[in-house]
A and B are shown apart, each in its own frame.
Chain A
Amino acid sequence: MSESNVPSVIIPMDSVYHSSAGYHFTYFFHKLKEKEIFGTRCPSCKEVFLPPRSFCGSCCVKTQEWIRVGPKGTVRAVSEVFLPILDPSTGMKRKVPHTMVLVQLDGADTLLHHVINDEGKTTQIGSRVEVIFAEKTIGHMKDILGFCLLEETEVSFSKIFLKRESESRESFEINQNVSDFKVLKFSNRVQIPFSYTLGDIGAQFVNYLSKGRLMAFHCQDCNFLNLPPSRFCYSCLSKNQIWKEIQPIGKTIGVARLEKQHRKHLPEDVFGFALVQLKGMTTSFLHHLIDPELKKGDPAQLIFRSQRKGAFLDIQGFRSCSLIR
């Protein structure tokens, strides 16, 4: 994360995405709610997949069977994690330390990435474990809380993928025509505070804004006016530039007026957006529309807020300008 003396702007991301589970996941979660775990099996190579895949990538065929796997399994990899990362679904740091494992559930050929919920005990590669289900299940991965350690040891410590234990397990055909349940859709919230580095030049630009001045970076080599400014001229990549004040008046190139329900996230005095070509500029400037009457082709004036703190929103927006009308 940026340090406090760094000129940067924090831009929190907080979005909700929607994932379709598809048939196989939906059925998997339907069974998980009943505290049963099923993988899918490839009819050709017999690999049992967890997560349940509809398709075997190695053989290029559809999987055809559900196979009951677990709830016991064997630890294949283990790490004690001390580094807390931000959990994107909550925006909070995860609790550490915790024991992370890859578990091969009995009957499955792929591994499940999860945690051990047995405090104080040592987990090793080869340790036998069993799934701990939530007391009240909801048909979501959260129904698996983690694993507890078992006293038993694995009978034969065979190399992973060689053992086809699944051959003897309960199985039944995948039938996608069942109409007992709807295919699930899950919402996933993602919360991450990103930041934007202004850099030296950007910091000077917003500092000028705080004083009510709009400044462009004027290239001394090709004469191009860079707004927003950049250390490198957009037109010729030269660093040879000086600040030049831009008059806050220009011609309206276009406006986008938003209906009231579509501008809830905007300040009250904002009606939409305006694109204005400021005097002396070859490029246009996009900002808030604060005048419902402003039309394409009208002279426009850029208005600064009275309270300014050195940010892009020190500019209130554009309104029509009678001075040069």
Chain B
Amino acid sequence: MANEVAIISTGQTHHDKCLAHLSQYEMVLEAMTSCLNEVNLKLKDIDAVMYTNMELFEGRAFPDWWMADAFGEKTFPSYKIATGGTSGTSGVIGAFMAVASGQFRSVLLVGWEKHSEGHTQTGMSLTEPLWDRQMAAGAVSNFALSISQFMNTRHITERQAALVAVKARRNAANNPYAHLKIPDLTVEKVLASPYLATPVRRLDMCPQSDGACALLIAEKDFALKKCARPAWIRAAATRHNRPYLGDLSDRLSTMRTLEEASRQVYKEVGIREPIKEIDVAEIYEPVSYAELAWYESLGFCGPGESGRLIEDGVTSMTGELPVNPSGGVLSTNPVGASGVIRAAEAALQIHGKGDKRQVQGAKTALVTGYGVYSWSDVMLLSASRADKI
């Protein structure tokens, strides 16, 4: 039987277009120290440190080099995970496995990105050099292509996608750490923003942020000693498939990796009706349309019903299953940190420390990660331990 594991504290920087006052490693240490301070621990009290960052976005080799300086006199077991958008959630899953296996009692995970230092869309286009590179154009246009297929089969409208964009930025206004906070955003304003690549408009797309986020993951005894209300990681699944864009026909409407990872998690914890049994979700939605597609993949609704779900407010803060009270990736996106932020924000909901963005009485939280063109991570956090949720 694996050890029980929980997220016991979180720490993040304020996220912004450019954190000019902090160098990359200072930004990371800011998140790390605030995570440790929350539970009055020092780095030396932790068994291992894990990092998640996509160094090709900043063009810096071994960015963890500097963070390792902070180890001081102690040597640490240390790992780095870099799988695009899933880096952060895969980091959490890696730390979860390391603690569940009994290898470590506690792991500090920190994810970050400083997009202001590089050219992210260009970095993402450094794909297969012989075949794809002259066409590859980063996240915006490859999503736009898939969205054209999704709209064609599911009859989603630009207005429905705009509702997702509005929900995200209004929720972000309740999150002091979020990058894009727009409390007065309206569907009309989203639909008036210019196209980046049809049908994706500027306000449909996530920003590029500077920021870092850290989590402390620990086994049962450690967790119960340090945290009044640990967020127990009850199940975690990750799925990769071949991600070449040309292989992924109808990617958004048949997101196999997300479907299979979520079904494994639901099965492990006995969830039959996710929309009723889950209290809050923090999902990785780089573009408004993706959130609608993921509603289907995650089983929140049937095929073609996601537009109605957002129109009916089911996923709003006052709805049956609030999705992304933090404002999500649409409001804050330091890629290497974004997955860590999803888990941190979900854990905050369980910890009851969500302040203005708290979903009252949240006991069960879903976390997802999305990476490269088609990789998925899914986790379920709960206020209760191994018993029934």
Q: Which residues of A come within 8 Å of B, CB atoms?
A: 1-3, 5-8, 11, 13, 17, 19, 21, 25, 50-51, 57, 76-83, 85-89, 94, 100-102, 104, 110-115, 125, 141-142, 160-161, 186, 188, 190, 192-202, 230-232, 234-237
Contact = CB atoms under 8 A, between A and B. Distances in A.
Closest 10 pairs (CB-CB, A-B): A194-B59, A79-B144, A199-B23, A111-B246, A77-B145, A232-B29, A6-B20, A188-B129, A234-B69, A83-B196
B60 A197 contact: no
Nearest to A52: B131
B157 interface: no
Nearest to A13: B59
> Which among B19, B25, B246 has the greatest number of chain A C-beta atoms within 10 A?
B246
B22 A199 contact: yes
A243 to B, nearest CB: 16
Contacts of A141: 130-131, 134
Nearest to A6: B20
Given A85-B125, A234-B70, 4 more contacts: A5-B20, A79-B199, A100-B144, A237-B29
> Which among A81, A112, A201 has the greatest number of chain B C-beta atoms within 10 A?
A81
Interface residues of B, number: 68
Given A77-B149, A160-B250, A195-B117, A83 B141 contact: yes
A111 B247 contact: yes
B116 A2 contact: yes
Contact of B118 (A100, A195, A201): A195
A234 B70 CA distance: 4
Contacts of A200: 21-22
B72 interface: yes
8 contacts: A83-B196, A85-B125, A87-B134, A113-B132, A125-B148, A192-B118, A196-B23, A237-B43
B227 interface: no
B26 interface: yes
Contacts of A113: 132, 135-136, 145, 245-246
Interface of B: 18-26, 29-30, 32-33, 36, 42-43, 58-60, 66, 69-70, 72-73, 114, 116-119, 121-123, 125-126, 128-138, 140-141, 144-149, 152, 194-200, 242, 244-247, 249-250
Contacts of B114: 197
Contact of A102 (B122, B137, B140, B246): B246
Contacts of B136: 113
A197 B59 contact: no
A6 B73 CA distance: 34
Contacts of A3: 18, 20
B78 to A, nearest CB: 15
Contacts of A86: 119, 121-122
Given A50-B246, A85-B122, A113-B245, A80 B21 contact: no
B69 A76 contact: no
Given A86-B119, A192-B122, A199 B148 contact: no
B130 A25 contact: yes
Nearest to B196: A83
A2 B135 contact: no
A25 B129 CA distance: 12
Contact of B59 (A1, A6, A142, A192): A192
A131 B32 CA distance: 53
Contacts of A142: 134
A198 B43 CA distance: 25
Contacts of A7: 20
Secondary structure class of chain A's binding surface, majority of residues: mixed
> Which among A19, A85, A101, A190 has the greatest number of chain B C-beta atoms within 10 A?
A85
Given A82-B194, A160-B250, A237-B29, A51 B131 contact: yes
Nearest to A146: B135
Contacts of A82: 194-198
A192 B124 CA distance: 12
A154 to B, nearest CB: 14
Contact of B119 (A17, A104, A192, A232): A192
Nearest to A196: B117
Nearest to B22: A199
B59 A11 contact: yes
A202 B129 CA distance: 37
Contacts of B141: 79, 81, 83, 100
Contact of A80 (B147, B198, B250): B198
Contact of B117 (A50, A77, A194, A234): A194
Contact of A115 (B26, B42, B135): B135
Nearest to B199: A79
A197 B246 contact: no
B133 A88 contact: yes
Contact of A197 (B20, B119, B135, B194): B20
B135 A100 contact: yes
B198 A79 contact: yes
B249 A76 contact: yes
A21 B130 contact: yes
A199 B21 contact: yes
B135 A160 contact: no
Contacts of A235: 72-73
Contact of A230 (B29, B58, B132): B29
A231 B25 CA distance: 9
Given A2-B117, A197-B20, A199-B22, A88 B125 contact: yes
B131 A197 contact: no
A40 to B, nearest CB: 13
Given A83-B197, A125-B149, A194-B117, A199 B60 contact: no
A53 to B, nearest CB: 9
Contact of B149 (A25, A76, A202, A234): A76
A110 B130 CA distance: 17
Contacts of A195: 116-118
> Which among A50, A102, A161 has the greatest number of chain B C-beta atoms within 10 A?
A102
Given A82-B195, A234-B70, A77 B146 contact: yes
